[in-house]
Structure 1
Amino acid sequence: MISIIGGGPSGNYLAYLLAKEGSKVNLYEEHDKIGKPIQCTGLLTDSINSFVKIKKEFLVNTLDKARLFGPDGDYTDIKIRKNFVVDRHKFDSHIAEMAVNEGAKFFLNHKFLDCKIKDKITARFKTSKGIKELETDYLIGADGPRSSVGRSVGLVTDKRKYIIALQARMSLKDLNCEKDTFEAFMEKRGFGWVVPENDEIARVGIATAGKNANDYFKDFLKQRCPNKKIVEYQSGLVPIYTPEMKCQKNNVFLVGDAACQVKLSSLDYGEPVLIKKNGFIMTVRIGELVDEEIKKNRKNVIKEGSIDIVKPKDILSYTPDYKSKNFRFYKTNSLIRHPSEEDIYEIIIDRGYRIKVTGEHSVMCVSEDSFTPKKVKDLKIKEDHLLVNFNLPKGNFTDNINIIEWILEEKPDLVENIIILGGKNLLYKKAEDVERKKRRTYWYNDRIPLSLFLSKGIIPNDVKLIYKKKFGREIKIKNIIDLSPELFRLFGYYAAEGTSNGRDVRLCFGKDDLMKGIVDDAINCAKKVFGIEPNKLHKKLNPKTNKDSSYYVIFGGKIVYNLFKNILKSGDKAHNKEVPYIVFNVNNNLKMEFLKAYLLGDGHARFRMPKKRKNWSSDIMAATVSRKLLSDLVLLSFQLDLSPTVQYQKAREHELYGKKIKSKYTYLLSYSKKNDLNKLSDIFGSKKSLLLKYLDKIKEKSIAGLPITLLPDIIEKHKDLFRKEFGQYSHYKTLSYKLLEKIFSKINDNTERIKFMNNLIINRVLVLPIKKINKIKPTSKYVYDLEVNDTNMFVGGVAPIIVHNTHGGIILGMLGAEEVKNSITNNDSYDRRWKKRIGKDLFYSWLMWKVFKKFNDKDYNKLIKDFKNPKIREILGRYNRDFPSQFIFKILYKKPSLIKYGFKLFSRQ
């Protein structure tokens, strides 16, 4: 038996969650109606849709502008994300109805008195019929800021502090304010507001931590709306969060206003994310990225319980905005790591693209006029669609590679082992300038440690490098590497056939590769690129046939090994292979050299041309066991305007060099679109004519399009246009962007919905249905997240799938409800769960309160003046107010003068 005290949003939502899972749930409410008395403004951010869909029956107004006033009457207007004003009575009742429909029972006029904890919990209630005692296994206090449940078990004491909120409902016409505008008044005593409820009524109120709340309220009403008729008074308390608060004692829990939480959700360790670092576009495994940054910045790691947070300096994440308009790299605010305590799910969408996330993580779906987050656990197969960025930044790196500069950036510990040949004139004018003991080596042999150049601030350019070793052949490598087709073919061969033992680079080719000329090309590439002669061709014998079966090309030594593995991040074994990140940053011709070499080394072409033409098919395929390489190849293909599919299958047992190789799972990358095959047709010369014959007889099919289910109102309004382009379109599942672009260019409609759909089309965002959702094992004991200040979105997975990770007043209570449910279900610590999830946002809310309560009127006037800065207004308007960490540092960065207030005033604490 689970007993919930309090019929507000968090209590009702928790009752719904628990009853839905089959638990026996009783909810006890002190009053005779759910949602009465009203004790808040009923103003919600758009995050509410992640829990309860906004319905007309309780929605009373929508706001999209905030007007912030200072004590002197000066103000600034800010365009904000959509906020909803709800009828709290109807809203709370709606959630209660959801719970009842799942089997929860509600008992009104039941006032909780106290409880005793023994084997079970005995709770006492005051009812219309007298005192009632009830036994329960779990007791949850959702009974507001003073929480009688919390007080009865010592979780809430008289030390808890509160903000007092007073509100009146008044005539909107008398107030002379705009229906779509939320007014906020900031002064030393507290915070005032005007929230339009509808065409006739507005909610006018104040919140203060001071002792004279009634006087402040009267003064505010007199100033903002003198002699106006008050329809109704309302009041409430807001508890002030402190970092040390606890919300569980045995089987007693607090939720909602009694305890606030925020969601922290994450990706699996190995999921690739698209970032820009040091000016280079790259994909990185999110776990490697976060672990590396934490290791480099140990002194600056923020510890919040078991959560590690680090603020990166130079990492940008690729993301769109909510309207699918501005696709670009945004500053990454935080990198986050915490223990993996949730199930991991792999979401697989059409074309085989996929991503691994926790069940609480949100991915982006399409709403009527914007992107909207949806939790993984709430997704429905075939019904929901995920979003994939097809248009990706190309990169514009045109310089040569200076190996020394790249060593300093990516692998500085190599410096002590590098000797420079041909650089003496950069340090000395004549032999006598060199110390006698070192003259022979430094001057006459022209062999000088790289560290000596660097100690004098010199980075050599046109020199050769050798790796210091006690014995064995020295390999001289050119320091300046041209961005040539040969270099990128060599990268492609390495991705397909390469490996390393830590001493050099090895390419392993089969007998067929020798006949195709790949082996000779690889040798010539190594010669031209590095100015070296690769080791002689090594042949490996098949012990079963005693004949040559494979060939090794070995070259480069430790310098080239480190260039491939540690500097350009190419990996060194089949399971950890990657596309060198420089490939994402060069022109398309060089990108194509890489891709063709990879497919030539590891791919093959297939043709199926039976008598029935509709069954014709062809593709170019390659297999890899590296999920990261697969993801990189998909991203590279998108940059080249190619659209491969992905499969995951179990390879058959086979024989290699006379040994049996057990079956294993592998990823298949396949190109089958006409556009793709045309661009790749010259890879397999012997099959090119057959491929072109096939391509000549098929039509291209577009993969980019919108599901017809997203467009019913637009289609109905513009039937003639759709019929002209699509004919009988009713049987289509998806309408291609190519034809939709024609239609939308003729639609003279400037609504947000049309603009959003048009942005999807122009930016070629793939809207792909979910095929499968599989529960899988995590690849690490940690899961990871990153936070992007501007959008709270980033892209990751196999294909750049758009994901989201935050939610946020009433919303916090609902998040808390979910954690109570999870704790009861898993029989683990609720305090650990919610402390893991409150994170930075509750801390920053508390910190801001500590600072702002010391502001005087002069400080607030200055603040409003600073908020007139267009960049600050844009930042404030873009963020969800429930999550201050999303914008507080961004504002301080844009307006450093504000920092002095924080240090000055917080130091008074």
Structure 2
Amino acid sequence: MGSMPRIRLMDHDVIVVGAGPVGARLATVLAERGVDVLLMEEHASIGRPFQCAGLVNPWSMQQVGLNDTVLQDIDGATIHGPHEASVSVGVPGEVRTSAVCRNRFDEGVVHQALNAGAKLRLSTLATGLLPIEGEGWRVNYRHESSTGTATCRLVVGADGAHSRVRHWLRCGRPKEMMIGNQVEVTGFDTEERWLEMFTGMAIAPGFFAWAIPTGFGTHRVGLWSAPERLDEASPEALLHALMHTSRHAPRFANCQVVARYCGPIPGGMVRRPVRERAMLFGDAAGLAKPTTGGGIGPGFKQVSLVADALANAIHADRLSEKALKKISRPWDDLRRHQTRARALRNLFLTESDDDTLERHVAIFAQPDVTAMINRLGDIEHPVPLGIEMLRKVPSFRPLALKAGWAMLTA
């Protein structure tokens, strides 16, 4: 009789580098399925530094049930054109997204992972990977003033936009990398449960700025753009101009800044999100939404698509690159949707000058178009709405051929 192949004893089945919400969610679903998971987090606490707008869509919130972290439910948005046009979309009482306390939300997801049996090491920076041929990885790390090594069958990079794991594995880079700047303020007055978006080349070239209500009289005010569109400006300077010299400045006159945040926003899944006994998740994989920059929803979806198959493969120790590519095949739909959403964003927003943007917002404000947006609009799935507007709104029909070509070539 043939003998079973010897499997090296490892410290852990899986090491997840990065204990943000996506890494912690992956650790939870794997630990619930009997996998030995270690979360390795470089910072001394969970949820810091906070670098995003902190919006969580209803589906993602259902996955974790952390409704007590919600600061403000949001039903819709008011979009301001570069000049005078504006439009409000959404239905009062129908929650489209929620602003959460990211510190409490992230801690909540990590606690779920720990309750499921995962382990956590804080203040632990992964410093390198060494392959154990055909069997796993040695993850070198630095913890405070000491160094060490932990071994695993599968290593996961969930370590953010500038992922070290992605770099070490040579997985490629996200299709685009935006940068954002945000402040938390008191004294901004807006409609309850409604966020606001501000467009224009002088505000956020090719993208938009936002004011998100976060309860208790506070708002997160920020913007994002691509570095190549900023010329010599900086996100900080553009945000200052929005609040002090733009046509919207009077609305910010009574604002007091109570916190500041900044960070990168990766868009476009990397070329190789799986390698031999290795995978990338969330921002490390380039999964931020090209239309809003949000990463929690796509990251949670990425986890849900592979949870069962991945846990089974870990237990069977079938973790070759070929096997992981098969497991991650459902991610192809995420990649396609992301690519099409970026093409439509470029068409309606990024590649439009101020006069064109103003016309677009004015068209959105037409009652039949607003009704279409309210009926089909979905923060997570903007492509059906974009296609429907190109098909049925006469003013957008000249864009249809360009859109079709952009989506085909994308």
Give TM-score, length-normalised by structure 1: 0.38
Q: Which amino acid aligns with 2:324?
A: S
Match of 1:873 in 2: 370
Match of 1:170 in 2: 185
For residues 5 and 834 of structure 1, what CA distance do their matches in structure 2 show? 23
Q: Which amino acid aligns with 1:79?
A: G
Question: Does 1:61 pair with 2:69?
Answer: no
- When residues 130 and 875 of structure 1 are mapped into structure 2, their CA distance, relative to the original with a 3 A threshold, is farther
Match of 1:180 in 2: 193
Match of 1:254 in 2: 280
Alignment of 1:232-247 (within 5 A): 232-241=259-268, 245-247=271-273
For residues 14 and 833 of structure 1, what CA distance do their matches in structure 2 show? 17
For residues 234 and 906 of structure 1, what CA distance do their matches in structure 2 show? 37
Alignment of 1:30-45 (within 5 A): 30-45=42-57
Partner SS for 2:82: coil
- Does the aligned pair in 2 maintain the 1:260–1:813 contact within 8 Å? no
Q: Which amino acid aligns with 1:180?
A: R
Q: Which amino acid aligns with 1:836?
A: D
Partner SS for 1:833: coil
- When residues 218 and 906 of structure 1 are mapped into structure 2, their CA distance, relative to the original with a 3 A threshold, is farther
**Deviation, structure 1 residue 903:** 4.8
Partner SS for 2:192: coil
Which of 91, 103, 109 is equivalent to 2:123? 109
Match of 1:48 in 2: 60
Alignment of 1:311-330 (within 5 A): none
Q: Structure 2: which 5+ residue stretches go unaligned? A: 1-12, 289-293
**Deviation, structure 1 residue 226:** 4.2
- Does the aligned pair in 1 maintain the 2:89–2:370 contact within 8 Å? yes
Match of 1:829 in 2: 324
Match of 2:155 in 1: 139
- Does the aligned pair in 2 maintain the 1:137–1:251 contact within 8 Å? yes
Query: Identity rate of aligned residues, in percent?
Result: 22
- Does the aligned pair in 1 maintain the 2:344–2:383 contact within 8 Å? no
- 1:203-238 Cα offsets, whole Å, 9 max, x none, are 000010133323222212223424632100011211
Partner SS for 1:115: strand
For residues 271 and 66 of structure 2, what CA distance do their matches in structure 1 show? 32
Match of 1:201 in 2: 218
- When residues 834 and 149 of structure 1 are mapped into structure 2, their CA distance, relative to the original with a 3 A threshold, is farther
**Deviation, structure 1 residue 818:** 2.8
Question: Does 1:11 pair with 2:23?
Answer: yes
For residues 837 and 823 of structure 1, what CA distance do their matches in structure 2 show? 18
Q: Which amino acid aligns with 2:189?
A: N
**Deviation, structure 1 residue 834:** 3.9
**Deviation, structure 1 residue 133:** 1.9
- Does the aligned pair in 1 maintain the 2:114–2:120 contact within 8 Å? yes
**Deviation, structure 1 residue 875:** 2.6
Match of 1:322 in 2: none
- When residues 260 and 160 of structure 1 are mapped into structure 2, their CA distance, relative to the original with a 3 A threshold, is closer
Alignment of 1:5-404 (within 5 A): 5-56=17-68, 58-80=69-91, 81-82=94-95, 83-119=97-133, 120-157=136-173, 160-171=175-186, 174-188=187-201, 189=205, 190-209=207-226, 210-211=229-230, 212=233, 213-222=235-244, 223=246, 224=249, 225-226=252-253, 228-241=255-268, 245-259=271-285
Q: Structure 1: which 5+ residue stretches go unaligned? A: 263-807
- When residues 90 and 830 of structure 1 are mapped into structure 2, their CA distance, relative to the original with a 3 A threshold, is farther
Partner SS for 1:253: strand
- Does the aligned pair in 2 maintain the 1:20–1:102 contact within 8 Å? yes
For residues 183 and 43 of structure 2, what CA distance do their matches in structure 1 show? 21
For residues 816 and 201 of structure 1, what CA distance do their matches in structure 2 show? 32
- When residues 47 and 101 of structure 1 are mapped into structure 2, their CA distance, relative to the original with a 3 A threshold, is same
- When residues 215 and 49 of structure 1 are mapped into structure 2, their CA distance, relative to the original with a 3 A threshold, is closer
For residues 144 and 899 of structure 1, what CA distance do their matches in structure 2 show? 39
- 1:179-224 Cα offsets, whole Å, 9 max, x none, are 3111011223121000010032100000101333232222122234
Partner SS for 1:7: coil
Partner SS for 1:99: helix
- Does the aligned pair in 2 maintain the 1:27–1:105 contact within 8 Å? yes
For residues 64 and 27 of structure 2, what CA distance do their matches in structure 1 show? 14
For residues 164 and 902 of structure 1, what CA distance do their matches in structure 2 show? 30
Partner SS for 1:246: coil
Question: Does 1:892 pair with 2:379?
Answer: no
- Does the aligned pair in 2 maintain the 1:179–1:198 contact within 8 Å? no
- 1:145-164 Cα offsets, whole Å, 9 max, x none, are 1111100110134x752111
Match of 1:813 in 2: 299
Alignment of 1:336-485 (within 5 A): none
Partner SS for 1:862: helix
- 1:851-873 Cα offsets, whole Å, 9 max, x none, are 33221101110110010122221
Which of 331, 348, 352 is equivalent to 1:855? 352
For residues 834 and 71 of structure 1, what CA distance do their matches in structure 2 show? 39
Partner SS for 1:836: helix
- When residues 31 and 261 of structure 1 are mapped into structure 2, their CA distance, relative to the original with a 3 A threshold, is closer
- Does the aligned pair in 1 maintain the 2:266–2:287 contact within 8 Å? no
- Does the aligned pair in 2 maintain the 1:823–1:830 contact within 8 Å? no
For residues 398 and 331 of structure 2, what CA distance do their matches in structure 1 show? 30
Partner SS for 2:283: coil
Q: Which amino acid aligns with 1:39?
A: Q
- When residues 155 and 47 of structure 1 are mapped into structure 2, their CA distance, relative to the original with a 3 A threshold, is same
- 1:665-711 Cα offsets, whole Å, 9 max, x none, are xxxxxxxxxxxxxxxxxxxxxxxxxxxxxxxxxxxxxxxxxxxxxxx
For residues 834 and 162 of structure 1, what CA distance do their matches in structure 2 show? 24
- 1:538-580 Cα offsets, whole Å, 9 max, x none, are xxxxxxxxxxxxxxxxxxxxxxxxxxxxxxxxxxxxxxxxxxx
- 1:159-179 Cα offsets, whole Å, 9 max, x none, are 7521111110000xx222123
Partner SS for 2:329: helix
- When residues 148 and 92 of structure 1 are mapped into structure 2, their CA distance, relative to the original with a 3 A threshold, is same
| Number of aligned residue pairs | 359
For residues 906 and 816 of structure 1, what CA distance do their matches in structure 2 show? 27
Task: Say which one has the larger Rg.
Answer: 1
For residues 404 and 188 of structure 2, what CA distance do their matches in structure 1 show? 36
- Does the aligned pair in 1 maintain the 2:66–2:105 contact within 8 Å? no
Partner SS for 1:151: helix
For residues 370 and 209 of structure 2, what CA distance do their matches in structure 1 show? 20
- When residues 214 and 91 of structure 1 are mapped into structure 2, their CA distance, relative to the original with a 3 A threshold, is same
For residues 838 and 260 of structure 1, what CA distance do their matches in structure 2 show? 11
Partner SS for 2:285: coil
- When residues 115 and 819 of structure 1 are mapped into structure 2, their CA distance, relative to the original with a 3 A threshold, is farther
**Deviation, structure 1 residue 839:** 5.6
- Does the aligned pair in 2 maintain the 1:125–1:131 contact within 8 Å? yes
- When residues 122 and 839 of structure 1 are mapped into structure 2, their CA distance, relative to the original with a 3 A threshold, is closer
